[in-house]
Amino acid sequence: METRSGKNIVMIFGATDTGKRIYEEIKDENRVAAFVDEDSSKWGAKIDDIEVKAPAEIPDMQFDYLYIGVLTYYRQVRALLKSMGIPDEKIIGRYVEVPTYARIECLKSIRTLLDEDGVEEGAVAELGVYRGDFAKEINKVFPDRAFYLFDTFEGFTAEDCDMEMEKGYMDKNRTGYFSNTTEQVVMDKMKYPSMCRICKGMFPDSALQIDDVFCFVNLDADLYAPTLAGLEFFYPRLVKGGILLIHDYFSKAFHGVKDAVKEYCDKNEIKYLPIGDTLSVAIRK
C-alpha cells in the first residue's frame, strides 16, 4: 500500500526518544501515519503534527510497516503485535534490536578483556534494573561474581523527579515511571540466582551497607541525581582495570545523565568512550 508519491505508509510504536529518532531517520522516505504508545497520557498528542494513538487502534489502521521505537521492552512490544495478528514481515525492529545486540556484545567483550587482563577481583552491579532484561545478561556473563541489583522496584522517586524538574530535565513529574516490576519478575530471569543480591530502595541509600569492590557496573537509572550518585559510589570502588557503563548518555529524553557524567568526569579527569549502542559510554579505570 503505497501513497501516490510511492512512499510506504508506516507507524512507529513508541512516542519516545527512540521513536522520535527513528522518525527523523525515516520520515523522508516514508509517510508516517501515526505514532503508537502505551502511555495513555500521550494519546491524542501530536509529534510534528502526527497523532499518537493507543495500541488498541493498530488493527484498524492501514499501514505497510510498523517500526518498533522502544528500547527497554521491545520484546514485549513484538509479542503484543504478534498477539494482534500483525505479521512479522510488517514489523521492523532493527533500530532497537541492533543497539540492544551491540550492548550485549559489548558486555561479553568486557568480560573477555577483564579475563585477559587478569582482573580476578570484584563484584558486578547494575543501578536501574527495572524488569531485569539487561541484568540477566550481566548475570549470564559473570556467573562467578556476586551481582548487586539496585532499584526502587517502585519506579522513579519523587525526590529524584523533583530534582529533574528543578534542573529543567523533565517537563512533567514522572514519579513512579517504571514501577511495573517486582524483585520476583527480575529474579525469575536470572540464570545464576544464588549470585544475586537484590538491593531494593532509593540509591544511594540502598548501598549504605555495601562494602565490596567492583569489576563491572552498569548505570541505567535515567536521571541526573542517581547517575551522579552512582558515579560517586562506584568509581572509587572500581578495581584497577574495572569497567563502568553509563546508559543514556546520548539520550535526547534524559538530558540529566550527560550532565551528571560530565560533572563527575570533568572534576575527576576521567575520559569515556561510546560503545556503539547509540546510547552508552564506558569508563575504564
Ligand X SMILES: C[S@@+](CC[C@H](N)C(=O)[O-])C[C@H]1O[C@@H](n2cnc3c(N)ncnc32)[C@H](O)[C@@H]1O
Name the residue nearer to ligand X (CB basis): 30 or 152: 152
Name the residue nearer to ligand X (CB basis): 63 or 235: 235
The strand order across the sheet containing 238-246 reads 196-200, 147-151, 123-127, 214-219, 238-246, 281-284, 273-274
Name the residue nearer to ligand X (CB basis): 30 or 157: 157
Q: Give the number of other CB atoms < 10 A from CB of residue 87.
A: 8
Name the residue nearer to ligand X (CB basis): 158 or 273: 158
Q: Which residue has the cell 502511555?
A: 39
Q: Nearest-CB residue to ligand X?
A: 128
Q: Tell me whether strands 238-246 and 214-219 are parallel, antiparallel or unpaired.
A: parallel
- Is residue 253 within 8 Å of 76, Cβ to Cβ? no
- Cβ of residue 238: shortest distance to ligand X, in angstroms? 19
CA triple 125-97-160, angle to 5 deg: 45
Locate 187 and state its grid cell.
Answer: 529474579
- Is residue 235 within 8 Å of 283, Cβ to Cβ? yes
- Cβ of residue 148: shortest distance to ligand X, in angstroms? 12
Name the residue nearer to ligand X (CB basis): 104 or 195: 104
Residues 6+ apart with CB under 8 A from 272: 246, 249, 261, 265, 281, 282, 283
- Cβ of residue 116: shortest distance to ligand X, in angstroms? 26
Name the residue nearer to ligand X (CB basis): 7 or 167: 167
- Cβ of residue 253: shortest distance to ligand X, in angstroms? 10
Binding site residues, ligand X, CB under 6 A: 72, 128-131, 133-134, 150-152, 155-157, 160, 178, 202-203, 220-223, 226
Alpha carbons 90 and 62: distance in angstroms, whole number: 11
- Cβ of residue 273: shortest distance to ligand X, in angstroms? 20
Name the residue nearer to ligand X (CB basis): 23 or 134: 134
Alpha carbons 181 and 154: distance in angstroms, whole number: 7
- Is residue 127 within 8 Å of 103, Cβ to Cβ? no
- Cβ of residue 181: shortest distance to ligand X, in angstroms? 6
- Cβ of residue 127: shortest distance to ligand X, in angstroms? 6
Q: What are phi and psi of 19, to 5 degrees?
A: -60, -40
